[in-house]
Each structure stands twice: as C-alpha cells, then as structure tokens.
Amino acid sequence: MPNTKSAEKRVRGNARKAARNQSIKSRLKTLERKYVTAVTAGKVDEAKTALLSVASAYAKASKDGVIHKATAQRKRSRLQLRLNAAAAAPKAAA
C-alpha cells in the first residue's frame, strides 16, 4: 500500500501505462500472426500488405517506448527476410 499521495498517484499512473503497453503488445502479436499465416500460406501479396502494417506498428511501439528500439528493428528485419525467402521460393522451384 502506498504511504503518500504521490505514491498513490504513481500506482494509478503505472496501472494505466501497463494496460496500454499490454494492449499494444497484444496488437503486435496479432498483426505478426496474421503476417506469418499469410507467408506460410504462400499469399505473397497479402503478406506484403500485412508486413507494412506490422512493421509500422513495431516502429510506433518502439517510438512510444513500449518495446526497445533494437527489438523492433530486429523483428522487422526478420519479418522482411521471411517475406523475401517466401517470394523467392516459387521462382526457384519454377
């Protein structure tokens, strides 16, 4: 239990920030799942649009401090590499 008024205020603020961060992280995971589903299904055009939205969401989350900047960059890079591999796979097989 907080002992001072300022400590009570901090508890309330921290709860608000934690709820917002949780919401943003959940949205990131949902967007990433949607993208991965499109890539594994071989829907390259759908995956490209999904990549744009998930990359944008990662950039915004890192800008707002929800996730670390390097984490966002690493994830965006790996998602792009995955799309590149998926796009190159049909050409290699043909």
Q: At 49, list the tokens.
A: 């649009």
Q: How far is CA 84 from the centre of its chain?
A: 19
- Per-residue pLDDT tens for 13-66? 999 999 999 999 999 999 999 999 999 999 999 999 999 999 999 999 999 999
CA angle 60, 49, 79 (to 5 degrees): 65
Report the pLDDT value the prediction gives residue 17, as an integer from 0 to 100.
Answer: 97
User: CA torsion 30→32→33→38, rounded to 10°?
Assistant: 130
Res. 89 pLDDT band, cuts 50 70 90: confident
Report the pLDDT value the prediction gives residue 92, as an integer from 0 to 100.
Answer: 58
Res. 1 pLDDT band, cuts 50 70 90: confident
- Amino acid at the residue 31: L
- Provide the phi-psi class of 65: left if phi over 0, else alpha when psi is between -120 and 50, else beta: left
Domain ranges of the chain: 5-93
Q: Does domain 5-93 have CATH number 1.10.730.10?
A: no
